[in-house]
């Protein structure tokens, strides 16, 4: 099939949506599909894609929308018409991208079905932020785009349940995100983290001191302050551990976290590492004894199955749409989003080596059984084929 994706920016610092689109399009191309990724900014696209190598998505880099509110001008739309019209299916990403409404309208006019991945943006927590603005967007154009899509794609049943009220006449479908398991099949071991971040990957601490890891975008919705306050509680309870915060993001929020660490006298207990990627990231997961993500909202949360693939038990909240699956896997604990709840869960796991080992094995097994990329890619293929078939039937 010829599948055209649209994502405004390929910049991994912007979070999981970019990662999802990169992994999804790469796998579909490897499986023999003609995949085109339209974007305005290809900074973090793999070099092989930029060079146009075989079995890779084709990049179509276009000028960013020039009209107010992020809309394409007529001449810009004309430039995209041939690409959209030649597709068997178009896949749009993110709810609040105004240009998606224009591309959806173009696809309908050309008789091409489109899928819209909402990426958690209609979750209850998200809709409680800037609610009036989002309701206005939906009323003006967004709801029509959702309800006229061949499918509105959610990554978990919990996401579909929360979002469906915003497009009651639309067709929702659940397919997990494609998750590249190759870096985790034979992980490098913790030695790379030791080398990069100092003895035991944590600076000058006792070699046997346990490590609690947060690795994600540093953003207020991630709730990192709860984990820092949990570290203070653990210190006061004489629970030995070092908390590592890996990631970059909102600079004002990051500064507030540094201030909190200083205020709570946690310089010897909490360390901010900055961005960690590639093999070093996998090694850091392996170095950690517990992975903790006290988030307010995630539709999938790649970092959770990544940690579990490294046999590291995870602790997170019901703000993650796949929390029922994580809990059922046996590799994760679900806690309230509070310092007390996270301190209790961390202390529980650090105090029970056997339980951590059992959870680590269970979590890794679940990731490789439930998130096998080719099996998930086949579900996307069936979704696209159904959309194309239904579109041809309607045209006839």
Task: Clarify whether residues 45 and 129 are in a common domain.
Answer: yes
DSSP H or E run through 196:
helix 191-197
DSSP code string of 151-201: EEEESSHHHHHHHGGGSTTS-EEE-PPP---HHHHS---THHHHHHHSGGG
Give residue 76's pLDDT: 97
Task: Choose among 115, 211, 155, 161: nearest CA to 376.
Answer: 155
Task: Clarify whether residues 261 and 317 are in a common domain.
Answer: yes
**pLDDT bracket for residue 203 (50, 70, 90):** low
Q: What is the pLDDT of residues 358-392, one digit of tens each?
A: 999 999 999 999 999 999 999 999 999 999 998 87
Q: What is the pLDDT of residues 235-266, one digit of tens each?
A: 999 999 999 999 998 899 999 999 999 999 99
Beta carbons of 330 and 363 less than 8 angstroms apart: yes
Task: Clarify whether residues 6 and 24 are in a common domain.
Answer: yes
Q: 378 phi and psi, to 5 degrees?
A: -65, -35
Beta carbons of 133 and 365 less than 8 angstroms apart: no
C-alpha 130/C-alpha 136 separation (Å) is 10
Burial class of residue 76 in the structure, from the number of CB atoms within 10 Å of its CB (0-12 exposed, 13-18 middle, 19+ buried): middle
Task: Clarify whether residues 71 and 153 are in a common domain.
Answer: yes
pTM beyond 0.95: no
DSSP H or E run through 262:
helix 251-263
C-alpha 80/C-alpha 300 separation (Å) is 31
Q: Which domain holds residue 347?
A: 182-370
| pLDDT higher than threshold 70 for residue 315 | yes
| pLDDT higher than threshold 60 for residue 197 | yes
- Tell me, what CATH number does 281's domain have? 3.40.50.2000
Q: What is the pLDDT of residues 72-104, one digit of tens each?
A: 999 999 999 999 999 999 999 999 999 999 999
Task: Clarify whether residues 193 and 328 are in a common domain.
Answer: yes
Task: Clarify whether residues 365 and 320 are in a common domain.
Answer: yes
Task: Clarify whether residues 80 and 40 are in a common domain.
Answer: yes
Task: Clarify whether residues 44 and 62 are in a common domain.
Answer: yes
Place of tokens 């944590």: 202
C-alpha 120/C-alpha 170 separation (Å) is 16
Number of domains the chain contains:
2
| pLDDT higher than threshold 80 for residue 396 | no
Task: Clarify whether residues 187 and 236 are in a common domain.
Answer: yes
C-alpha 119/C-alpha 121 separation (Å) is 6
Place of tokens 């201030």: 259
Task: Clarify whether residues 134 and 217 are in a common domain.
Answer: no
C-alpha 240/C-alpha 38 separation (Å) is 49
Task: Clarify whether residues 19 and 144 are in a common domain.
Answer: yes
End-to-end CA distance of the chain: 20
Task: Clarify whether residues 263 and 339 are in a common domain.
Answer: yes
> What average pLDDT does range 197-216 have in this prediction?
73
Q: Which residues contact 217 (CB under 8 A, 6 or more apart)?
A: 13, 15, 16, 247, 248, 249
């Amino acid at each position: 099939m010829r599948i055209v994706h649209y994502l405004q920016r390929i910049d991994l610092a912007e979070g999981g949506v970019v990662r999802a689109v990169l992994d999804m399009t790469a796998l579909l191309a490897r499986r023999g599909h003609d995949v085109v990724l339209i974007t305005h900014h290809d900074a973090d696209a793999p070099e092989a894609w930029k060079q146009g190598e075989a079995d890779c998505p084709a990049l179509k880099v276009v000028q960013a929308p020039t009209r107010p509110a992020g809309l394409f001008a007529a001449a810009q739309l004309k430039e995209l018409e041939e690409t959209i019209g030649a597709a068997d299916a178009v896949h749009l990403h993110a709810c609040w991208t105004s240009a998606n409404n224009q591309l959806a309208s173009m696809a309908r006019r050309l008789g091409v079905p489109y899928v819209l991945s909402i990426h958690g943006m209609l979750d209850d927590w998200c809709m409680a932020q800037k609610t009036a603005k989002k309701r206005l967007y939906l009323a003006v154009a967004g709801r029509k785009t959702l309800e006229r899509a061949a499918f509105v794609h959610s990554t978990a049943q919990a996401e579909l349940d929360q979002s469906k009220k915003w497009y009651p006449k639309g067709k929702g479908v659940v397919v997990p995100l494609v998750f590249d398991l190759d870096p985790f099949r034979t992980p490098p071991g913790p030695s790379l983290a030791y080398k990069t971040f100092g003895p035991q990957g944590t600076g000058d601490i006792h070699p046997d001191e346990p490590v609690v890891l947060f690795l994600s975008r540093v953003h207020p919705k991630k709730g990192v302050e709860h984990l820092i306050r949990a570290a203070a509680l653990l210190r006061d309870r004489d629970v030995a551990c070092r908390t590592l915060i890996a990631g970059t993001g909102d600079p004002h929020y990051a500064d507030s976290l540094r201030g909190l660490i200083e205020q709570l006298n946690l310089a010897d207990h909490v360390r901010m590492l900055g961005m960690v990627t590639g093999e070093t990231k996998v090694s850091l997961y392996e170095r950690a004894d517990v992975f903790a993500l006290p988030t307010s909202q995630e539709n999938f949360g790649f970092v959770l199955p990544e940690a579990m693939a490294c046999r590291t038990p995870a602790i997170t909240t019901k703000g993650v749409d796949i929390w029922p699956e994580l809990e059922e896997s046996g590799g994760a604990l679900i806690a309230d989003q509070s310092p007390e709840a996270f301190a209790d869960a961390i202390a529980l796991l650090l105090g029970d080596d056997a339980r951590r080992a059992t959870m680590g094995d269970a979590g890794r097994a679940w990731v490789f059984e439930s998130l096998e990329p080719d099996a998930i890619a086949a579900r996307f293929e069936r979704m696209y084929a159904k959309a194309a078939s239904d579109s041809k039937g309607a045209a006839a």
